[in-house]
Amino acid sequence: MKFLDREKEKRELKAILSGEPDVVYFVYGPINSGKTALLMQIFEELPEDYRIFYINFRRVETRKYEDFVRAMFQPRDESFWEKFAKRVDLIKAALEYAEKLLEKVNFRFELPSRVIREFFKPGEKERDVFRYLEILMGELVKKEKKPVLVLDELQMLRDVKKNGYLLSDLFNFLIGMTKETHLCHCLCATSDCLFIEKIYSNARLEGRARYVLVDDLDRERAYKVYEELGIEDKELVWNYVGGKFGDILGVLSYKRRGYSEREAVEEMVRIEAGRLKHLKLFRLADTEMREEIWEVLKIFCEKEVCRGKEAEKVLKKGTFWIRENVLFYDPVRGEVRPQGRIIWKAIKREIREEEGNVASCA
């Protein structure tokens, strides 16, 4: 299925990639808003002189530095690298890799196992992953190619260490590639905006990073998508699902299984309500502030978006819900809202059911 009605966001990102690399860009938004699908669509439409390296850290377990290296690099057939059998030279490896000119879209960097193992060794700068990538990007630029490094789900690296936290070295590298040498566009995609805010302050990214929001569709664009996908009761689906692309596809999945559109959206709310119950009963069971954390959700019974002091209150006591992808925090706009209309419906249902039970017991 083609990606639908994201022309505004596509124009913005294409404009960024058409210029000289100058800052790191965070591509952020609620879960299932279509960030990855949008990026893939853009990659397909870029001219053939681009060389995209797209690394998704959610696809692999990344607890250690060695996991990070394995996520970035893929072992290649050793016969291709026979000339390096006696001595590993990362500069020559970068030259050889650049001479291949690669595919337009690459999901990992291919290197022989013996070269990859060199990255695990301490000491010499020439064995450093980031030094190798810097050399490689420079060689690609010399060959009149336009490299783009895309790191998806970067928050998965938050606890990885190598002589300190890896993310510190990684962002220094990204800043070097953009702000300082202008060799490579660097995009970081995530739905974890608490992570973005922490990284922004800890990595000293002031003036070195910008944000691109990939949000759920507005009503006009969502209705066009509904029409193309054959959704009949647009008002019902908008009321329950809104413009969240992942949930729209969820409705279609239920319909293929024989559900009506109303049955589909009600089942989706029921599942999210069950998740809220589980979080309250088990994840918050031993938390001293259990009741206060639960009370935060009551703010959203009457409104969908919190701003100003209300948003500050949510951030003070309700980060649990943001980490669990119940609420979405937009650090640029300074607002907090449910991750989507389905979860918003579930929040209101659970709060009102709880209050009804309390009233009946009184």
pLDDT in tens, 52-65: 999 999 888 888 98
Whole-prediction pTM: 0.85
> Which residue intervals of the chain bear CATH 3.40.50.300?
7-213
| Number of Cβ within a 10 Å radius of residue 326 | 23
- In one-letter notation, the amino acid at residue 347 is I
More confident residue, 75 or 361: 75
How many angstroms separate the most distant Cα atoms in the chain? Answer: 82
CB 91 within 8 Å of CB 125 = no
> Comparing C-alpha atoms, which of 186, 214, 209 is closest to residue 198?
209
Look at 355 and 241; give whichever has higher pLDDT: 241
CATH 1.10.10.10 fits 219-361, yes or no: yes
pLDDT digits (tens, 9 = 90+) for 330-340: 988 999 999 99
Per cent of the chain over pLDDT 90 is 56
Average pLDDT, integer, range 258-269? 97
280 vs 294: CA distance, rounded Å: 7
pLDDT greater than 80 at residue 136: yes
Q: Is the pLDDT of residue 110 over 90?
A: no
Question: What single letter denotes the amino acid at residue 340?
Answer: G
| Average pLDDT of every residue of the chain | 87
> Is 188 strand, coil or helix?
strand
Q: Give pLDDT tens digits for 9-40.
A: 999 999 999 999 999 999 999 998 889 889 99
Domain with CATH 1.10.10.10 in the chain: 219-361
Domain 7-213 falls under CATH 3.10.200.10: no
Q: How confident is the model at residue 361 (pLDDT cuts 50, 70, 90)?
A: very low
pLDDT digits (tens, 9 = 90+) for 148-194: 999 999 889 988 988 788 888 899 999 999 999 999 999 999 888 88
Q: What is the CA radius of gyration of the chain?
A: 23
